[in-house]
Amino acid sequence: MDLMIESFPRLLNATILTIELTLLSLFFGIFGTTVNAAFVDESTSCFAKFFVDEDPRRSQGLFRGKEVRSLEKLTNQDRIYFPYDENLRQKILRRTNASLLQF
């Protein structure tokens, strides 16, 4: 009986974590449509729901079967991962005047 009582909080925590990750995944994107972005997508079991590209021509299609959004289509809820080093990330942020978050 003690085992069942101890297991319930763990099960509850696991359920809450699953719900949080599901909600997060609705707003999780990867910056770019490069091999780096594809690698991150594959490495995270295709967790991202979309990609972001600063080139308007690329933001009208699909990449790896997912929507490619322009910077203008992002919302405050969106969380973007930059699969690049910090120097390149800073250059992109300055160039695009974007205030995107990195995980």
Encode the chain (103 residues) as per-residue pLDDT tens digits. Answer: 444 444 556 655 665 555 555 656 678 888 999 998 998 888 877 778 899 998 888 888 899 999 999 888 888 888 888 888 888 888 888 887 665 544 3
Domain range for residue 31?
26-96
pLDDT score of 4: 44
pLDDT score of 20: 59
4 located within any domain: no
3-state helix, strand, coil in the chain (%, to 5): 50, 15, 35
Among 55, 47, 56, 52, which Cα is nearest to 32's?
52
Domain count, the chain: 1
102 located within any domain: no
Q: What is the pTM of this model?
A: 0.69
101 located within any domain: no
Instruction: Read off the CATH number of the domain in which 78 is found.
Output: 3.40.50
pLDDT score of 67: 94
63 located within any domain: yes
